[in-house]
Structure 1
Amino acid sequence: MGDGSSEAVILLVEDSPGDIRLIEEAFSDGNIANSLNVVSDGQEALDFINRRGEYEEARRPDIVLLDLNLPKVDGEDVLHEIKHHPELGHVPVIVLTGLDDDLIESRDLDHDADEDAVLEKPVDPGEFVALIRSFEEFRLAIMRED
């Protein structure tokens, strides 16, 4: 697969520097081998997943961490695009949100995020690392089957 790297390619779509720092620290504390790509608005996220412009050489992400409340293009639109993308439909998306469960359900994310995870902000680093590990093991298990 690609360059043979066992690092997970993770795309973090987040506009809050504090949340970005928290997630970077959680990865490093959790000792997760990853290539973390950070984009700070929905338009950049779409460019990354579609390999446009400066992201032409980007590797496809194995996991996407997506804040819903983004500038330029809304996080829900990014989620929809990922889930309907021919090469990314299977990629797990972890939705990062400050919304509570009732609001999430009322915004009808379910049809796009049904097999994925929703983490409420502020993100709990322990819970976050456990979640990433479960996705990473799932991804590596799939890769080993090839």
Structure 2
Amino acid sequence: MLKPILLTEDNPRDLELTLIALERSQLANEVVIARDGVEALDYLLRREQYADRPEGNPAVMLLDLKLPRVDGLDVLATVRATPELRSIPVVMLTSSREEPDLLRAYSLGVNAYVVKPVEFKDFVGAISDLGVFWAVLNEPPPGSMRLQRARLAPHEPREDA
């Protein structure tokens, strides 16, 4: 079962462009959209409207920096401070080139910081590359797949046991 991609973006234009880019990359992963930091944390922590969502973390979180209610850096800080969420790859996807934002994101443990390209073709290419890398090529931390398989089929022998 493929893990979803959590896309946290409040700008309707950037959201639409990111969804187009992910679709063009032909990833089969479901894309879950959060339009602000609170909604992203609700999804990750399985609360409010997401209280009944299946267990498990997204394959990757694409996180905008400037978000309403709770900004991207505060979301990142919460993710890294929460043991169950700590291993989620987080890619800051932002228009900010400000050095303090970049430094703070890396000090909080972001996996990648990508400035959104202005040109549509470049934007699509960047998002496609990100999606393929984090959802397909990247190896999750040891143990995360074992735990997921054990929850799905605890009575079956595991390949990696």
* Superposed pair shares fold, TM > 0.5: yes
Q: CA deviation at 1:101?
A: 5.2
Unaligned runs of 5+ in 1: none
1:99 corresponding residue in structure 2: 96
Report the CA distance shift for 1:139/1:9 in structure 2 as closer, same or farther (over 3 A).
Answer: farther
Q: What does the per-residue CA deviation read over 1:62-104, in whole Å, with 9 as the maximum and x for residues that have no partner? A: 2101001011111111011111221111111010111115243
Size of the alignment, in residue pairs?
A: 139
Name the structure where strand makes up a greater proportion of residues. Answer: 1
Q: 2:86 pairs with 85, 89, 92, which one?
A: 89
Contact 1:68 1:76 in 2 (8 A): yes
Give the TM-score taking structure 1 as reference length: 0.84
- Percent of residue pairs identical: 36
Q: 1:111 pairs with 91, 96, 107, which one?
A: 107
Contact 1:8 1:33 in 2 (8 A): no
1:42 corresponding residue in structure 2: 37
1:138 corresponding residue in structure 2: 138
Q: CA deviation at 1:33?
A: 1.1
When Rg is computed on C-alpha atoms for both structures, the one with the higher figure is 2
Q: What does the per-residue CA deviation read over 1:6-47, in whole Å, with 9 as the maximum and x for residues that have no partner? A: x23111111011111111111111101111110111111111
> C-alpha separation between the residues in 2 aligned to 1:34 and 1:140?
15
Unaligned runs of 5+ in 2: 147-158
Contact 2:87 2:141 in 1 (8 A): no
> C-alpha separation between the residues in 1 aligned to 2:13 and 2:31?
16
Q: Give RMSD over aligned pairs.
A: 2.2
Runs of at least 4 residues off by over 2 Å:
57-60, 101-106, 139-146
> C-alpha separation between the residues in 1 aligned to 2:141 and 2:77?
26
Contact 1:13 1:41 in 2 (8 A): yes
> C-alpha separation between the residues in 2 aligned to 1:56 and 1:17?
26
Contact 2:25 2:131 in 1 (8 A): no
